[in-house]
Amino acid sequence: MNYFLSNLRSNEIFKFLVAGVSSNILNYLAYISALFIFGIDPLVASAIGFFCGLVTGFLINRDFTFGLGSRQDQEHLFIKYVLVQLVSLLIYIFVIYVCNSLAIISLELMVFPAIFVCACFNFLCSKFLVFR
């Protein structure tokens, strides 16, 4: 546990949050564009948005948050990043499911605990598994 705490840097956490907000804004803009400008099915539009956010998040975190843009194994980093994002998506759905099943929070607010749990999971996995 000391290893994790001693290796956490507040500037990385801040940069990770900036990267997350930026990639989610792009995710949303891509989704809205695909949905309303191009008339694409909502499920396909959400997949397009998710992919745009995923690629943007990878690039920002690799270069800005963790400063690993010059590494040679970019494909390997990207594969690990995608796997972390897919696990995070499953965790997100699970947290929503639990909140909904237990009726412990309103439908409008249950995304917030899911976002918090996934943000913590994503940061720790990105720092200690993907971009180490």
The DSSP secondary-structure symbol of 110 reads: T
- Burial class of residue 78 in the structure, from the number of CB atoms within 10 Å of its CB (0-12 exposed, 13-18 middle, 19+ buried): middle
Confidence (pLDDT) at 63: 93
- If you average pLDDT over residues 100-114, what whole number do you get? 86
Of all helices (H) and strands (E), which one includes residue 5? helix 2-6
Whether the pLDDT of residue 2 is over 70: the answer is no
Residue 3 included in any domain:
no
Whether the pLDDT of residue 5 is over 60: the answer is no
Whether the pLDDT of residue 70 is over 80: the answer is no
Residue 5 included in any domain:
no
Confidence (pLDDT) at 10: 77
Contact in structure between 81 and 58 (CB atoms under 8 Å)? yes
The DSSP secondary-structure symbol of 67 reads: -
Tally of domains in the chain: 1
Single pTM value for the model: 0.83
Return the amino acid letter for 29. L
Residue 31 included in any domain:
yes
- If you average pLDDT over residues 84-101, what whole number do you get? 92
Domain encompassing residue 49: 10-130
